[in-house]
Amino acid sequence: MNSKVDNQINELLQKMSIREKIGQLNMTVTPKTEAEFERTREKLRNGDVGSMILASSSTAGLDPQERVNTAMCNRVQKVAMEEGPHGIPLIYGRDVIHGHRTVYPVPLAIAAAFNDELVKKAYRYTAIEATSVGIHWTFAPMIDLCRDPRYGRIIEGPGEDPMVGRHMARAIVEGFQNGDVAQEDSMVTCPKHFIGYGASEGGRDYYRTEISDYSLYNYYLPAFREAIEAGSDTVMSSFNDINGDPVSGSRYYMTEILRDYLGFKGFVVSDWGAIAFLKRLGVTESESECAELGIHAGIEIDMCDDIYVRYLEKLIEEGKVSMETLDNAVRRVLEVKFKKNLFENPYCKMPEIDRTEHLKCARELASECMVLLKNEDNVLPLSKDKKIALLGPLVHEKRALLGSWCLEGKAEETPSFYEAMVEAVGKNHLITATDPTGLYDDSVRAMYQADVVVLALGESEKVTGEKRSLADISLPNYQIELIRKAKYSGKKVIGVFFCGRPIAMEGVADLLDAVLYAWHSGSEAAGAACDILFGETVPSGKTAITFPRNSGHIPMYYNATSNRYNGYFGNNSETSYEDSIAAPYYPFGYGLSYTEFAYSNMQSDCAEISVDDLKNGKKVKCSIDVSNVGEYEGKETIQLYIHDVAGTYMRPFRELKDYKKLLFKVGETKNITFELGYDELGYYMPDGAYVVEEGNIEVFIGPNCFAKDKIVLKVV
């Protein structure tokens, strides 16, 4: 911060009472009625509130939520500015996770696009829409690395790879903040949940985790490091413990790791009620102790449990919390408010927003994230003159296409798959069935009247997101029965899956001729799926998460430490399970196209490099020729992986280090070059030290984590 702002903050701290300072650390919900407004008004006059969350419950992603009442926000802000003790503005926060009124794909789907610039654009448009109703601060990006698709909140994050998490973190932060959070249409970001929330055992929400220091530094921290370096000024703490240490009460994680190690300078907000939750976790016997643990851990803002307001002043009087600790916490909150320019521009002007380009972006991103998993005999793309039996539980669905954590999107504005298909080919080419008995008799008759069967399958938004974990990620039996009946019809059968998470594909994909994984892809999900089905768009999505054969294989992730018995890459699979093939059904980085790409001529500009040269900035250039040898223009994501053959600690058999998504014309060949330097060739020790070790490193380039083109680089 500049000296002028520092002086202003110092002046405020000198004027504020202890109670008023504590109020800046207190977040509450916005009032909705006149009675609530009057109660809030009294709190603001007393200086008891510093921020507000625009939500009515802790599980806003699954509970019905009121839309933002901008007039009420301005009215409450006016009280804070004109009747509060020192004219300190409120900062309004809301979970703006994957769009506002224009809804983009859920983040796990967005990761499958492997298109950083398009992701950044989507979040720029999201910020424009969200700030137009008065939201200053988004509780995003969620960058919890997660390997368990049973976990409902896996849909909110980037999947299983730390490098993908880093790219997503930067793209989302830069999209929201646009270089300067002081702009009216930019948002303060809040990466969450620090740290390890996505590693909850068994995919159970709010549950315990076991994370070694080695895994913490190499897998779970990189995305947060990237978000902080990209400019995030706030971070949200998580509910979980790590190895028995509850994170929201842990000075080790919230101060020593987050601040001292990662260099975070902003403020930390707890998750909803996470400080009071410490008592339930069994590390305190009273709420007063919760407050003491939380503030000493390094959590500045207490979200919605009033723990700080009720207990901090007494803790200060008793000498258990110092004034220095309180002042430092308040300073960090005020710094962000000044950075957002809320003192000069506290009110929302409610500009009109033209969403035309936003919807175009939503369709483009939805198209790029959809993954073509199977296409036997090139059944896709479909000809528009075919008679299509359009069947399945999601044919007429609208709300599910938006996904969980969609607070402002409108289902009534979202085209259903049926409506999009009608727009694409007309009603005369579609045969549908209602099956009121649930026995699929009408569906079977429709199949026999058609040239091809398209099944709209998947899950609703109600089984994904917070508190929505599943023990079994298999497709429901009634949908599998529909697939079987379609298979027995003898017609070509295409499955379009509108899901938030990956599903178990054994016994499902093998019954289908083509599989398009369309995800919960937002406002333009149905249209984007139709574009791909009929060849208006050539599919280019790649899986950012492994698709297991069945739920019994979970957790399954490609970048496990190198053990020849894990079976993921097909090696020694017989030692993994007696009753199941150990390899994934679809691996990380996998996705088909309507065209074909050939990889050849992999080279590097040197076979040997020293650690000292790497430290001094020298890089190794690795290149490969990629050719479009098919019949369609299309995009391909070229992926570079490494394997450190022998390290002090076991290293992953494959480890993604870079990717490039490029458009290829028919017959076009491009020489793709990657650079590997010190930052790419090392890893973190359990004490957090980053090292590059001597030895052989295998470098792979290809279309997914099963890439076979390889060179060996020797580090000396």
| Confidence at residue 514, expressed as pLDDT on a 0 to 100 scale | 98
- Calculate helix-pair angle for 323-339, 3-15, nearest 10 degrees: 130
Residue-wise pLDDT for 403-435, tens only, equals 999 999 999 999 999 999 999 999 999 999 988
| Confidence at residue 573, expressed as pLDDT on a 0 to 100 scale | 59
- Calculate helix-pair angle for 116-131, 162-177, nearest 10 degrees: 40
By DSSP bridging, strand 709-715 and strand 608-609 are parallel
Q: State the residue for tokens 């010190």.
A: 678
Handedness of CA 334, 339, 344, 350 (dihedral sign): negative
Q: State the residue for tokens 């809030």.
A: 40
Q: Is 246 helix (H, G, I), strand (E, B) or coil?
A: strand
Helix (H) or strand (E) holding 697: strand 695-702
Annotate 159-222 with DSSP letters as a single string.
Answer: -S-HHHHHHHHHHHHHHHHTT-TTSTT--B---B-BTTGGG-GGG-TT--B---HHHIIIIISH
Q: State the residue for tokens 């017959």.
A: 667
Q: Is 292 helix (H, G, I), strand (E, B) or coil?
A: helix
Measured CA to CA, the distance from residue 359 to residue 410 in angstroms comes to 13
SS (H, E, C) 429-440: HEECCCCCCCCC
- Residue 229 has a CB neighbour count (10 Å cut-off) of 15
Measured CA to CA, the distance from residue 606 to residue 120 in angstroms comes to 35
- Residue 633 has a CB neighbour count (10 Å cut-off) of 15
Measured CA to CA, the distance from residue 576 to residue 565 in angstroms comes to 7
| Confidence at residue 356, expressed as pLDDT on a 0 to 100 scale | 98
Q: State the residue for tokens 């207990």.
A: 311
Task: Pull the structure tokens for residue 48.
Answer: 């008891």
By DSSP bridging, strand 430-431 and strand 655-664 are unpaired
For the beta sheet containing 137-138, the strands, ordered from the edge strand earlier in sequence to the opposite edge, are 137-138, 91-94, 51-53, 26-29, 302-303
Annotate 29-56 with DSSP letters as a single string.
Answer: EPP-SHHHHHHHHHHHHTT--SEEES-S
Q: State the residue for tokens 């507000």.
A: 52
* Cβ contact 103:523 at 8 Å: yes
Task: Pull the structure tokens for residue 116.
Answer: 């950083």
Q: In angstroms, how far is the first alpha carbon of the chain from the final one?
A: 44
Q: Which residues are catalytic?
A: 271
* Cβ contact 367:634 at 8 Å: no
Annotate 102-152 with DSSP letters as a single string.
Answer: SBPPPHHHHHTT--HHHHHHHHHHHHHHHHTTT--EE---B------TTSG
Rounded (10°) CA dihedral 157, 132, 417, 105? -10
Q: How far is CA 593 from CA 380, 467, 500, 532, 627, in A?
A: 10, 35, 22, 10, 13
SS (H, E, C) 293-359: HHHHHCCCEEECCCHHHHHHHHHHHCCCCCHHHHHHHHHHHHHHHHHCCCCCCCCCCCCCCCCHHHH
| Confidence at residue 574, expressed as pLDDT on a 0 to 100 scale | 64
Measured CA to CA, the distance from residue 456 to residue 394 in angstroms comes to 5
Helix (H) or strand (E) holding 27: strand 26-29
- Residue 64 has a CB neighbour count (10 Å cut-off) of 8
Q: State the residue for tokens 């004027």.
A: 15
Nearest to 182 by CA among 91, 83, 117: 91
The rounded Cα 352 to chain-centroid distance in angstroms is 28
| Confidence at residue 567, expressed as pLDDT on a 0 to 100 scale | 86
| Entry pTM | 0.97
Those residues of the chain that have pLDDT short of 50 are none
Q: State the residue for tokens 């009625």.
A: 33
SS (H, E, C) 148-171: CCCCHHHHHCCCCCHHHHHHHHHH
By DSSP bridging, strand 388-391 and strand 452-458 are parallel
Is 438 exposed, middle or buried, given 0-12, 13-18 or 19+ CB atoms closer than 10 A? exposed
636-672 as b/e: b if 16+ CB within 10 A? bbbbbbbbbeebeeebbbbbbbbbebeebeeeeebeb
Measured CA to CA, the distance from residue 137 to residue 29 in angstroms comes to 14
Measured CA to CA, the distance from residue 131 to residue 94 in angstroms comes to 11
SS (H, E, C) 633-696: CEEEEEEEEEEECCCCCCCECCEEEEEEEEEECCCCEEEEEEEECHHHHCEECCCCCEECCCEE
| Confidence at residue 231, expressed as pLDDT on a 0 to 100 scale | 97
* Cβ contact 292:320 at 8 Å: yes
Nearest to 110 by CA among 100, 102, 118: 118
Residue-wise pLDDT for 59-94, tens only, equals 887 778 889 999 999 999 999 999 999 999 999 999
| Confidence at residue 577, expressed as pLDDT on a 0 to 100 scale | 84
Q: State the residue for tokens 């916005």.
A: 30
- The full set of domains in the chain, from first to last, is 1-94 (no CATH), 356-552 (3.40.50.1700), 597-715 (2.60.40.10)
Helix (H) or strand (E) holding 13: helix 3-15
* Cβ contact 251:296 at 8 Å: yes
- Residue 273 has a CB neighbour count (10 Å cut-off) of 17
